[in-house]
Amino acid sequence: MPQATSWERHVPIMNAHTLGRWSVAVVVGCGFAMLFAATGCNEPTATSESNTPGTPGPAKTDAFHFHYNVTINNLEPGAQARVWLPVAQTNHDQDVQLEGVEVPGEHDVYDEGKFDNQVIYFEAAANDNGEIPIKVAYQVVRKELTAESGEEVVDEELANFLAPSRFVPNDEKLLYQVVGDKRPEGEGEELADELYNAVYRWMEYGKPKDKAWGRGDSVYACDARIGNCTDFHSLFISMCRVLKLPAKFEIGFMLPEDGAEGEVGGYHCWAKFAHEGRWVAVDISEADKDATMKDYYFGSLTPNRVTFTTGRDLQLSPPPAAGEVNFLVYPYVEVEGKEHKDFAKDFRFVRLD
């Protein structure tokens, strides 16, 4: 395992500065390390009398265990892999406790260099089946977001959320292709609403086999007019930034609204824009799936979700051979300096009583 040198290193199980936040026990056995952490919070419970999203009343909350289970596969037995995993953190929108980490051998937790994400890093050899198993467990309490309850904007961070990224360019051609010849003239929330509706009209949710959906490519989304959540929100963010409206990308997972436990099929993402000192959320792809929620998803997010990372072109530590990573929600894996994309996922949730 390489030691951190020039990289800023954050290791909760060893860093004394984190002990006020983490109560830690480490158990090592059978080739696995388990990290148990607690923040001093009481066992959360879901709000059983919460209102339906979009109706008057107190904000809804959701409380659950989230199991991030992945098996990296199709490796040669004994092949050495470098693995980076996203880490869900407590923030304005959610309270997160990291309950356990099971990976072969030792692991470290590093700070990502651009957007203050946290990333688990480890190196491991594939087992006799050509696999590397991963299990990370969380306890999450997530609150419903509204336009009035969004996180406060930190002015020093805004430059990151106005700058283009590899697949999210600040390209006026995209804007005019979607909205027509007349440049939008509003500001703040009014402007964002116009762009939200423009993307809603322009895009269709879908995953056609012959299209390059799913990498959050604004140019692709503008031309193909069909894609998943990454494509919807990348196009929206590009258009916001062209008009000097700061906007950011968040990605994690969305749970079914109902059910005590079950499977989570894959990732989900959304966007936020800055308005009057707060971040205001939009979820245009979910609005496309359910037109009755279109007005709600401009400014609000349901609580049945968890954020793992923010931003694009992430600067992971230690640096991958490929350099910056487009976004991080599934494991990023390199073998002999090349990305390895094969894995089986088994994400699951169990709601708290």
Q: What is the mean pLDDT of the chain?
A: 87
Q: Which helix (H) or strand (E) holds 202?
A: helix 188-202
Per domain, the residue ranges of the chain are: 16-145+330-351, 155-309
What φ, ψ does residue 221 adopt, rounded to 5°?
A: -60, -40
Q: Report CA-CA distances (Å) from 309 to 87, 118, 205, 314, 337.
A: 7, 8, 22, 9, 24
Average pLDDT of span 24-51: 36
More confident residue, 284 or 51: 284
Which is it for strands 132-143 and 247-254: parallel, antiparallel or unpaired?
A: unpaired
At position 18, the amino acid (one-letter code) is T
The Cα 117–Cα 137 span in angstroms is 18
Does the pLDDT value for residue 7 go beyond 50?
no
* pLDDT range class, residue 113, cuts 50, 70, 90: confident
* pLDDT range class, residue 41, cuts 50, 70, 90: very low
CATH number of 155-309: 3.10.620.30
CATH class of 16-145+330-351: mainly beta
Within this chain, domains 16-145+330-351 and 155-309 share the same CATH topology:
no
Residues 6+ apart with CB under 8 A from 120: 83, 84, 85, 86, 87, 101, 103, 107, 108, 109, 136
* pLDDT range class, residue 353, cuts 50, 70, 90: confident
Tokens of 168: 């999210």
Does the pLDDT value for residue 22 go beyond 50?
no
- For the stretch 163-195, pLDDT in tens is 999 999 999 999 999 999 989 988 999 999 999
- For the stretch 285-315, pLDDT in tens is 999 999 999 999 999 999 999 999 999 999 9
Does the pLDDT value for residue 278 go beyond 80?
yes
- For the stretch 324-337, pLDDT in tens is 999 999 999 999 99
The Cα 146–Cα 143 span in angstroms is 10
Question: What's residue 31's pLDDT?
Answer: 37
At position 250, the amino acid (one-letter code) is E
3-state helix, strand, coil in the chain (%, to 5): 20, 35, 45
Look at 23-27, 88-92, 108-112 and tell me which has the smallest mean pLDDT. 23-27
- For the stretch 206-237, pLDDT in tens is 999 999 999 999 999 999 999 999 999 999 99
